[in-house]
Structure 1
């Protein structure tokens, strides 16, 4: 039985609870990830930030009148 079929076989209230649990897990991960990275010493250095700025695409606006 596939995971989707197993999920669909659950009662609606159980599926609702699973959905709320997944949303809570994702929200908690977003909320605590920065503080956990700080505690583990995984903060980016200035060199990391500069290399990221080099990789960022540059956007140039071109006026359609000037061809």
Structure 2
């Protein structure tokens, strides 16, 4: 049985509780990850950000032209 089917077999009240629990887990994780990053000194420096921006792909738009 798939995870989705198991979730669908729960009572509506339990599904609501699981959904709220997952949302709370995500919010808590987002809050704690920022604090842990600061505490353990894992913040990216400006040089790291510049090196990463050079590796990121660039998107260039090209006009089609009027003759098509």
Go from structure 1 to structure 2 and tell me whether the alpha carbon gap of 1:63 and 1:24 turns closer, same or farther (over 3 Å shift): same
Instruction: Say which is worse superposed, 48-57 or 36-45, in terms of deviation.
Output: 48-57
Distance across 1 between alignment mates of 2:44 and 2:10: 43
- Report the Cα offset of residue 14 of structure 1: 0.2
- The count of residues paired between Structure 1 and Structure 2 equals 67
Closer, same or farther: CA 63–17 of 1 in aligned 2, 3 Å: same
Q: Secondary structure at the match of 1:34?
A: helix
Q: Deviations over 1:15-48 (max 9, x none)?
A: 0000001111111111221111111221112221
RMSD: 2.3
Separation in structure 2 between the aligned mates of residue 40 and residue 57 of structure 1, nearest angstrom: 30
Unaligned runs of 5+ in 1: none
Q: TM-score, normalised by structure 2?
A: 0.72
Unpaired runs of at least 5, structure 2: none
Say if 2:42 is the partner of 1:52.
no
Q: Secondary structure at the match of 1:32?
A: helix
